[in-house]
């Protein structure tokens, strides 16, 4: 099968306007393994979008050589709504301007109703169980609300992703080293993804409770395994991960080509594409998300960092000082912010004005 391009129209939110979702498909429909890759769900995170642009070229070449062995579905711009949200010259692509909702939070819970839907349909064969679960998930996704552009976008993306063996959601952070999030059930098998994306850290989280896109795809399997795993074999059949390709300013062809090359080798390694990827680079360690310090600040002020990206800190080290420029005495104007864990600084804020409760960085704990 040749490269196929689909365009999905989202419902118009005002007369005369409409958002379009573009989907690229490679390989034979229904072939296994299937991978679904999307970028720009937070639409102001452009590094994954540019990496997808480069990956698309590589996939076209692979298709021409007959080297697509599984099914590959790529959505280079997963959120055309957010991509268009330019507010007073500032691109505000992470949250929906109509209600402030984060585009990567509050996704539909696909586990709802799943145990009942599978009553009498599970048995002793793991592969047959996975197929039954995917069929039930499809029925659930088909019934999702699609009355407005955001719910229709969610439904459309889940229709593409829910039955994939691997789901990659490409994001970036503010100012960051590459890193990746996945479930503990997928480690250490997922070390190849961490390695091929050049990740400096891999954070493991069973269920963040935030209803993010990646978990929406992977959690139904692990929740079912917890509920019914003593009676039926239920593998964690959807390996979903969020890849953070550095920071918002890191949008350059040189980096995106490198990132696309890494993704391509991962696809070869996992059997979506033919060809020899070479030995995997050394992977970083994995760390439970609980051991990650998000460096919350208690006061408002300007952020003066005392650590660089990639720096290793000890618990108690001063990570930053929050400066109150209106303090009467400049000697009393600085609040030191201490690291809560030993670890590696992988993220800092681009904007340097903090409010109480803000997170101003990520320090990945001892495993890193």
In the complex, the residues that contact Zn ion under the rule CB under 5 A are: 42, 45, 171
For Zn ion, the closer CB: 69 or 217: 217
* Beta-strand relationship, 318-323 and 334-338: antiparallel
Q: Which two tokens stand for residue 299?
A: 């006061």
The residue to which tokens 């091929």 are assigned: 196
Q: How far is the CB of 73 from Zn ion (least distance, A)?
A: 20
| Maximal C-alpha separation, the chain | 72
**Are 243 and 193 spatial neighbours (Cβ–Cβ below 8 Å)?**
yes
Q: Which of 58, 51, 54 is nearest to 26 (CA)?
A: 58
Q: How far is the CB of 164 from Zn ion (least distance, A)?
A: 20
**CA–CA distance, 359 with 348 (Å, rounded to integer):** 9
Q: How far is the CB of 6 from Zn ion (least distance, A)?
A: 24
Q: How far is the CB of 115 from Zn ion (least distance, A)?
A: 31
Q: How far is the CB of 202 from Zn ion (least distance, A)?
A: 17
Q: How far is the CB of 149 from Zn ion (least distance, A)?
A: 19
**CA–CA distance, 336 with 33 (Å, rounded to integer):** 50
For Zn ion, the closer CB: 248 or 283: 248
For Zn ion, the closer CB: 198 or 247: 247
For Zn ion, the closer CB: 50 or 225: 50
Quote the radius of gyration of the chain (alpha carbons, Å). 21
Q: How far is the CB of 358 from Zn ion (least distance, A)?
A: 16
The CA dihedral of 259, 264, 268, 270, to the nearest 10 degrees, is: 60
Give the Cα-Cα-Cα angle 197, 199, 222 (nearest 5 degrees).
85
**CA–CA distance, 23 with 16 (Å, rounded to integer):** 23
For Zn ion, the closer CB: 42 or 155: 42
**Are 354 and 360 spatial neighbours (Cβ–Cβ below 8 Å)?**
yes
**Are 160 and 36 spatial neighbours (Cβ–Cβ below 8 Å)?**
yes
**Are 222 and 185 spatial neighbours (Cβ–Cβ below 8 Å)?**
yes
Q: How far is the CB of 178 from Zn ion (least distance, A)?
A: 13
For Zn ion, the closer CB: 129 or 161: 161
For Zn ion, the closer CB: 174 or 293: 174
Phi first, then psi: what are they for 194, rounded to 5°?
-60, -40
For Zn ion, the closer CB: 245 or 272: 245
Q: Which of 123, 162, 122 is nearest to 139 (CA)?
A: 162
Q: Which two tokens stand for residue 161?
A: 């992703």
């Amino acid at each position: 099968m040749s490269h196929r391009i689909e365009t999905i129209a989202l419902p118009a939110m005002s007369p005369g306007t409409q958002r379009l979702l573009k989907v690229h498909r490679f390989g034979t429909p229904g072939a296994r393994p299937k991978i679904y890759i999307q970028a720009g769900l937070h639409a102001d995170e452009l590094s994954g979008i540019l990496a997808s642009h480069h990956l698309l070229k590589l996939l076209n070449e692979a298709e021409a050589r007959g080297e697509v062995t599984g099914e590959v579905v790529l959505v280079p711009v997963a959120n055309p709504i957010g991509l268009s949200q330019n507010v007073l010259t500032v691109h505000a692509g992470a949250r929906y301007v109509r209600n402030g909702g984060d585009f990567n939070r509050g996704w539909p819970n696909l586990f709802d109703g799943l145990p009942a839907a599978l009553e009498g349909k599970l048995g002793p064969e793991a592969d047959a169980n996975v197929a039954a679960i995917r069929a039930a998930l499809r029925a659930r996704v088909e019934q999702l609300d699609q009355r407005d552009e955001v719910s229709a976008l969610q439904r459309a993306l889940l229709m593409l992703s829910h039955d994939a063996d691997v789901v990659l959601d490409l994001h970036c952070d503010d100012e960051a080293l590459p890193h990746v999030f996945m479930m503990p059930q997928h480690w250490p098998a997922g070390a190849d993804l961490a390695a091929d994306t050049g990740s400096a850290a891999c954070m493991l989280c069973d269920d963040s409770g935030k209803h993010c896109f990646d978990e929406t795809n992977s959690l139904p399997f692990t929740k079912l395994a917890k509920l019914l795993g003593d009676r039926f074999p239920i593998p964690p059949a959807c390996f979903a991960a969020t890849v953070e390709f550095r920071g918002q300013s890191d949008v350059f062809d040189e980096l995106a080509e490198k990132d696309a090359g890494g993704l391509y080798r991962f696809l070869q390694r996992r059997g979506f594409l033919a060809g020899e990827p070479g030995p995997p680079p050394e992977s970083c360690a994995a760390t439970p998300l609980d051991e990650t310090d998000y460096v919350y600040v208690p006061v408002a002020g300007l952020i003066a960092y005392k650590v660089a990206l990639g720096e290793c800190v000890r618990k108690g080290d001063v990570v930053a000082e929050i400066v109150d420029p209106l303090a009467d005495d400049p000697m009393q104007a600085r609040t030191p912010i201490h690291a809560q864990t030993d670890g590696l600084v992988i993220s800092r804020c681009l904007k340097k004005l903090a409010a109480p409760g803000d997170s101003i960085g990520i320090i990945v704990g001892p495993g890193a």
